[in-house]
Amino acid sequence: MPCKNCLNKPVIKLTNNNIQLCKQHFIKYFERKVFNTIRNYKLIEKNDKVGVAVSGGKDSLTVLNILIMLKNKIRKFEIEAIAIDEGIKGYRDETLENAEKFCKENKIKLHIFSYKKEFGDTLDNFLKKSKMKACSMCGPFRRYLLNKKSKELGFTKLATGHNLDDEAQTIMMNYFRKNIETSARLGPITGILKDKRFIKRIKPLYFMTQKEVAAYAFLKGLTAEFLECPHSSDSYRGDVMKMLNDFEAKYPGTKHSIITSFIELLPMLKESYKNFMPINECKTCGEPCSQEICQTCKIVEILKKNGNK
Ligand code: SF4
Ligand code: ZN
């Protein structure tokens, strides 16, 4: 069967509607859908200074590429990039090289912050001396630095490369762990409260599947390699990802259904949880948190006790 729109050879079959598209029509479809998400959910407004969280992988370079295209069209906002170097040898050093190269070629200012400088050591070294799972340590550190540094850099929004698969996993993880109030903060643009201490996060790839993002990044030549973090499968998220992939293979469209159902529920969730969790300031670092001490400072304290710092 040829492409739905022309007679060319298809490069991809879309999972939610069985449509096949050729390279040219797939790229058009992809970009239009992302631009629609940005417009429909008002992800970017006039005079925004958007920080793009780049890892150098396919998702973040796709977001950056599309935002550069949008900026060239409407020129009413600024873009800079921010990267976190966790210190994962053989993975992050390589993806960061990609990010640096891409930003240089596209004249985008890139700010890099490392765990070594900010927390005292690399993730690789912290893990050698701690029993914590990699992502339980790395996730909070990463979120912490992105929020703190984005504010310091004056970003009004932080764009991330989260795609439909990532969000479907997070929604299911929150169900399984009875974390519904956390789900109220999800969606294409995050946050329930208007609070200057939290940088608003935007997810332009919210409605694009992992497979579509990988195909786009490959066809546009954004990255030659598709490296995965060596710790990504060794986590709760990794298990949920495998489960959803199996389900999707057996019942195509499952992930789209999770997202469309969730989008319907989201306004109710936001309303229900708008006054939930009084937000304190961490007594150690001053960053917003729900308890007296934020999770990052707690982990840093444990690592110090273990003699890691
Ligand atoms: Fe960090 Fe886990 Fe993500 Fe790897 S998969 S970068 S360890 S949060
Ligand atoms: Zn803190």
- pLDDT tens column, 276-295: 665 788 999 988 888 899 99
| pLDDT reported for residue 193 | 57
Distance in Å, CA 293 to ligand 2 centroid = 6
How close is the Cα of 140 to the center of ligand 2, in Å?
Answer: 11
User: Of the residues 54, 84, 86, which should be mutated to test ligand 1's pocket, given the most ligand atoms within 8 Å of the CB?
Assistant: 86
From atom 5 of ligand 1, which residue's Cα is the shortest distance away? 232
User: Over the stretch 127-139, which tens digit does the pLDDT of each residue have?
Assistant: 998 888 899 999 9
- Pairing mode, strands 288-289 and 110-114: unpaired
Q: Which residue has the tokens 């997202």?
A: 259
| Ligand 1: lining residues by beta carbon, under 6 Å | 86, 134-135, 138-139, 229, 231-232
Considering every ligand atom, which ligand is closest to the CA of 284?
2
CB 254 within 8 A of CB 248: yes
Q: For residues 16 and 252, what is the distance between their CA atoms, to the nearest angstrom?
A: 7
Neighbours of ion ligand 2 (CB under 5 A): 282, 284-285, 294, 297
Q: Whose CA is nearest to atom 6 of ligand 1?
A: 229
Q: What would you report as the CA-atom Rg of the chain, rounded to the nearest whole angstrom?
A: 20
Query: Who's near 105: CB < 8 A, 6+ residues apart?
Result: none
Please report the beta strands in the chain, taking only residues with DSSP state E, as ranges in sequence order. 12-13, 20-21, 49-53, 78-85, 110-114, 157-159, 200-202, 280-281, 288-289
- Residues in the chain, total: 309
Q: Quick check: pTM over 0.85?
A: yes
Residue pair 182/234 in contact (Cβ under 8 Å)? The answer is no
pLDDT in tens, the chain (309 residues): 788 889 899 899 887 777 899 999 999 999 999 999 999 999 999 999 999 999 989 999 999 999 999 999 887 899 999 999 999 999 998 899 999 999 999 999 999 999 999 999 999 999 998 888 899 999 999 999 999 999 999 999 999 999 999 999 999 999 999 999 889 989 999 865 566 788 899 999 999 999 999 999 999 999 877 788 998 877 889 899 999 999 999 999 999 999 999 999 999 998 888 876 657 889 999 888 888 999 999 999 888 887 644
